[in-house]
Amino acid sequence: MVTYFKQAYLEIANFIIHALDKLKIEEVEAFVKTIEDIYRQNKKILVVGVGRSGLVGRAFAMRLRHLGARSYVLGETITPSVEEGDLLVAISGSGTTQVVVAAAEAAKKMRAKVAAVTSYYDSPLAKTADLVLYVPGRTKLASMDDYFARQILGIHEPLSPLGTLFEDTSMVVLDAVIAELMKRLGKNESDLAKRHANIEVP
């Protein structure tokens, strides 16, 4: 019997819906406009993230490629070098993921722009970035002190562990960004389908 399935489903879905009120539209506009400018200048967009945030980044890079952007996932063997004027989209809920922060710092040294997708403005990643797209989320396990406090107060752990809320919300936010870019670039679903992979391997 799936006792917690519906409860977890609603917890995640409701968080994503209410997260819209916490997003700053001016940040979304700056993020979209930056990608649009990079696209029109035929510069590269490189995406980096670790773990599940990395999977969200891959999905975003894939849709950007479907739009016709020169998008790549950092760390892949076919990813080209970062050059001046390129854009690095760095995804980390905590903003402290070492690989992601190091990539952002390296991109800055190459005079590329850095856009951080994170939950923390005061994180190393956010401080390195040229622009921040704040996405709310419970990004890490609570501290041991918080754990014992919850036990005493009878507060239970959420049903969306670790960075689930940040990762799922980021996925929806970035998919909505793609929808906005489609309209601004005059693209439709048929245009995207033409660039979709037509050879699939198991």
The residues annotated as belonging to the active site are: 167
Q: CA 166, CA 9: separation in Å to the nearest integer?
A: 15
pLDDT (tens, 9 = 90+) of the chain, 202 residues, equals 778 899 889 989 999 999 999 999 999 999 999 999 999 999 999 999 999 999 999 999 999 999 999 999 999 999 999 999 999 999 999 999 999 999 999 999 999 999 999 999 999 999 999 999 999 987 555 544 555 555 555 555 566 677 889 999 999 999 999 999 999 999 988 888 888 877 777 6
> Is residue 138 situated within a structural domain?
yes
- Helix, strand counts (H, E) of the chain: 8, 5
Helices 164-184 + 25-40 axis angle, to 10: 50
Tell me the CATH number at 70: 3.40.50.10490
> Is residue 1 situated within a structural domain?
no
> Is residue 116 situated within a structural domain?
yes
Q: Which two tokens stand for residue 177?
A: 């960004």
Position 144 scores a pLDDT of 46
> Is residue 5 situated within a structural domain?
no
- The residue among 62, 30, 73 whose CA lies nearest residue 178 is 62
For residue 168, how many other CB atoms are within 10 A of its CB? 19
> Is residue 59 situated within a structural domain?
yes
The pTM for the full model equals 0.88
- In which domain, by residue range, is 150 found? 10-192
> Is residue 65 situated within a structural domain?
yes
Position 157 scores a pLDDT of 57
> Is residue 178 situated within a structural domain?
yes
> Is residue 183 situated within a structural domain?
yes
Task: Count how many domains the chain has.
Answer: 1
For residue 58, how many other CB atoms are within 10 A of its CB? 14
